[in-house]
Structure 1
Amino acid sequence: MKKTIGGLVLLIALAGLQSFKGKPVQAPKPAAIGKATMDRGKRIYTQRCLVCHQVDGGGVPHLNAPLDGASLVQGNDKTKLVRIILKGYSDRVEIDGEYYSNNMTPLADLNDQQISDVLTYVRNSWSNRASAITPAEVKAVRAKTK
């Protein structure tokens, strides 16, 4: 009984913290990602990424990194993702404690919108749920990596 009453008091106290001056406090939601962005991103993924990273985003063990559930994909460091698309990589790469050795060719021929679309698609497919990457963010990284 003691724990229940204490828990109830805690819940009431937390509910009181949920509002300030009568306004509920809510965590900001990521901006909605439009169907057109996801469709364009899926098209690019199918044409340019699927062979190595697979239909399910699972990659190929020890060769091609998985995209589904990878901290690199879902994380806040969008710059690193954009840089990988622009520059590719030829070294063995470590992601979430696993190593992948297949080279990734640069996809710098894609324009800022295309890179934005495909990365937003990847960051919001399978089990991934992350914020969109904008063309402006891609443009800024491209300008710094020339």
Structure 2
Amino acid sequence: MKKLLVALAGLLLCGASASAQKKPAPKAKAAAPAAALIAQGKTVYTETCLSCHQADGGGVDGLNPPLIKTSYVLGDKTRIVKVVLNGLQGVDIDGEEYNNAMPSYDFLTDQQIAAVLTYVRNSFGNKATSISAAEVKAIRAANKK
């Protein structure tokens, strides 16, 4: 009986040490934006944004800000969505002043805004999370109040 208890205790200890040595499952990486969303965003960008922000996202000094690695593009999603919805004028972006008025593009659908901002946040050397149509819809609704 004593041998049986010792054997059981040994099995339990081996099982415990084996399970303690298991590595935790790796955390899932943030999913890359879907290619279709990026393609739709590129179309909206070409039709709506390119003339001011340029094909390379570099903007125009003193007039239209660049979209390359700026706090406005890579930062808070709500702020960048509100820029598209409300427009922007006479603002300092990362220490540089830009004086051209950006009109409101609130006529774009939530899906178009999500697509173009996801495209911009993942083009021109930028890497940031996607913006969904649902996020744009919620920001648009809160923006009307």
State the TM-score bracket (shorter-chain normalisation): 0.7 to 0.9
Q: Percent sequence identity over matched residues?
A: 51
Q: Where does residue 87 of structure 2 map in the other structure?
A: 88
Q: 2:84 is matched by which residue type in structure 1?
A: I
Q: 1:67 is matched by which residue type in structure 2?
A: L
Q: Where does residue 22 of structure 1 map in the other structure?
A: 23
For 2:118 and 2:30, how far apart are their aligned partners in 1? 12
For 2:65 and 2:24, how far apart are their aligned partners in 1? 44
1:20 shift after superposition: 8.2
TM-score where L is the length of structure 2: 0.81
Query: SS in structure 2 opposite 1:23?
Result: coil
Greater Cα radius of gyration, structure 1 or 2: 2
Q: How does 1:53-64 map to 2 (within 5 A)?
A: 53-64=53-64
Q: Where does residue 8 of structure 1 map in the other structure?
A: none
TM-score where L is the length of structure 1: 0.81
Compared CA separation, residues 20 and 86, structure 1 to 2 (3 A) = farther
For 1:32 and 1:71, how far apart are their aligned partners in 2? 20
For 2:124 and 2:41, how far apart are their aligned partners in 1? 14
* Structure 1, unaligned runs of 5 or more: 1-18
RMSD of aligned C-alpha atoms?
1.6
1:22 shift after superposition: 1.7
Answer yes or no: is 1:65 the counterpart of 2:65. yes
Compared CA separation, residues 25 and 35, structure 1 to 2 (3 A) = closer
* Structure 2, unaligned runs of 5 or more: 1-19
Aligned counterpart in structure 1 of residue 130 of structure 2, from 126, 129, 132: 132
Aligned length: 125
Q: Where does residue 13 of structure 1 map in the other structure?
A: none
